[in-house]
Amino acid sequence: MRWLVDKLWLNLRSKYYFRRSFYLQAAMMFLNNLLWIAVISLLFARTGSIGGFNRAQYLVVFSYTVLVYGLVFLFFGGLRKIWQYIVEGNLDRFMVVPRNLLINVAISDTRVASIGDISQGLLFLALLGAPLRLLMFLPASFVVAFSFMVIVNSLYFFMRDFTGRVQRQLLHFLISTGMWPVVILQGPLRFFFYYVIPGGTIFFYAVQQAYSGGWAPKLWLLSMVFPVVALAVWRIGLRRYSSSNLGFNVNEA
């Protein structure tokens, strides 16, 4: 644990070296999220409630989404780069360190913009009077989001994408499910958005349960299943890894 905290502190200090960029990134992310809040207002201009959520509750879902997303990438910003390490064969330098490889890679970097996400999330949750019970679900949502990101990045052991677009889009997919009302879907698509791309469960369902005073059993169940799947995919993928994975890159063209 001490190692994790020290590493986070070191990452933040190294990013803080470029102070202007540090503050700018956090502020721009905050502004970016405010723009989405404007979009939500536009959505509610056409309708009074969406899938049983009123405007304030919908904003709580959004704020909770960016909070979870922000926390994952503040502590484990290296997750965003795993695909690159795999494609370029750069996992080697982490392998020689006598630590858990996945955790070591995940904490190798931090995302400064996450500070904007976290501050915006916390601020709006407080302003909107979100139920405190929601904080209880935060660890479970965090674990599922973390595991999902590991799975997405581990896909690069099996596929070719030298630009990282798949990774960016699938991560965007997860956050999109916390922004768009997956609650209005029915049948197999609802299942897809709740259990395959788990945003429906970790964001909408968590908030729904927090308001209704439930214990979110499906969320806790996912928080046990997803890490197992993530570890399995990571380990199977790792067996296929070789240092010469270097691929074609437009920057070398």
Partner 1 sequence: MIYIGVREALANWQATIIRSLHMAFLGYLIGYFWFTVTGDRSYMLYVIVAELVMFNRARVSWEVSKLIRTGRLDVWLTRPGSLYSKLFSIFMGRVVTGYFLSLLLVFPMFLLFGMPNFWYLPLALLAFVVEYSFSVTVGYLSFWVGDTQPFRFVVDKIKFLFSGVVVPLEFFPGWLAFLSKVLPFRFMAYVPAKAMVGQFNPIDLLIGLLWVAFLYVVALVVEKKGVKKYEMVGG
Q: Which is nearer to partner 1, 83 or 142 (CB)?
A: 83
Counting contacts by CB under 8 A, is residue 37 touching partner 1?
no
Sequence-ordered alpha helix ranges (H) in 17-54? 19-46
**Rounded Cα distance, 59 and 40, in Å:** 8
Counting contacts by CB under 8 A, is residue 24 touching partner 1?
yes
Q: Which is nearer to partner 1, 47 or 242 (CB)?
A: 47
Residue 146 sits at φ, ψ, to 5 deg, of -60, -50
Contact region for partner 1 (CB under 8 A) — 63-71, 92-100, 165-173, 231-239? 165-173
- Name the minimum Å distance from CB 208 to partner 1: 18
CB 86 within 8 A of CB 66: no
Measured over the CA atoms of residue 38, residue 68, residue 214 and residue 188, the dihedral's sign is positive
In 3D space, the residue among 221, 177, 216 whose CA is nearest the CA of residue 198 turns out to be 177
Look-up of token digits 């102070």: 19
Q: Which is nearer to partner 1, 129 or 187 (CB)?
A: 187
Instruction: Report helix, strand or coil for 147.
Output: helix
> Per-residue x/- mask for partner 1, residues 179 to 198, rule CB under 8 A?
-xxx-xx---x--xx---x-
Which residues of this protein are in contact with partner 1, per CB under 8 A?
A: 18, 21, 24-25, 27-29, 31-32, 35-36, 38-39, 42-43, 45-47, 50, 113, 155, 159-163, 165-166, 169-170, 173, 176-177, 180-182, 184-185, 189, 192-193, 197, 248, 250-251, 253
